[in-house]
Amino acid sequence: MRARAEAEAEAEAAAQREQRGLTWKEQKEEKYRRKWAEREAKDRAEMEAAAAARAERRRLEDKQRGTRRGLFGGKEASSADETSANESEEALVAFADEIKTKKVVVLEELAAKFGLRTADAVRRVRMLEAEGRITGIMDDRGTFIYVSREEMERVAAFITEKGRVRIAELTRESAEILGLGLE
């Protein structure tokens, strides 16, 4: 620590000797620039250390997740990958079928039925939608309403036929088409 302080003092003295030819204002500006550069370097070093710590934490979390997947039948690196893939595909099909048969699903209840967290159930629903296996509407209260392609086409035809449609009319017609029985 002392060696560093002595080196800094020596550097400061050398800088002052060099600046004797400068005006007082220029010396002050130069000192300010040096302090600013030191602060920048310190901040940069702190940010790099924080980024390295975050990367290490992520690496450890990923490693732990991989271990948990192995314990709970997730993605495994073994000869049973095909069997595991078939089982997960069957689970995904069962998940989609449950949504299709119930039509209106509370995602929290669906997650509980399949032993998932609600966030995982939401991710699965979005994935199934992205793949085109299911279509529907998810509201902000955690409910998913399954709407088949034919039903969507019928609602679109209703809107096209009527032109301007009030929300109440659209709700009533959509409920009738979807068989939700909202009265």
Could you report the per-residue pLDDT of 142-176, keeping only the tens digit for each?
899 888 888 888 888 989 988 888 888 888 888 88
Q: Please say whether the beta carbons of 135 and 129 come within 8 A.
A: yes
Q: What does pLDDT average to over the chain? A: 80
Given a cut of 80, whether residue 76 has pLDDT beyond it is: no
Structural domain boundaries, residue 111:
81-178
Query: Are residue 60 and residue 86 in the same domain, yes or no?
Result: no
Is the alpha carbon torsion for 108, 109, 114, 115 positive or negative?
positive
Considering 1-5, 68-72, 173-177, the range whose residues carry the highest mean pLDDT is 173-177
Round to whole Å and give the CA distance between 181 and 40: 65
pLDDT at 114: 87
- Per-residue confidence at 106, pLDDT binned at 50, 70, 90? very high
With respect to residue 154, please indicate whether it lies within any of the assigned structural domains: yes
With respect to residue 183, please indicate whether it lies within any of the assigned structural domains: no
Query: Which of 135, 133, 156, 131 is closest to 146 using CA atoms?
Result: 135
Given a cut of 50, whether residue 107 has pLDDT beyond it is: yes
User: What pTM, to 2 d.p., does this model score?
Assistant: 0.50
Query: In the beta sheet, which residues pair with residue 146?
Result: 136
Query: Are residue 19 and residue 102 in the same domain, yes or no?
Result: no
Number of structural domains, the chain? 2
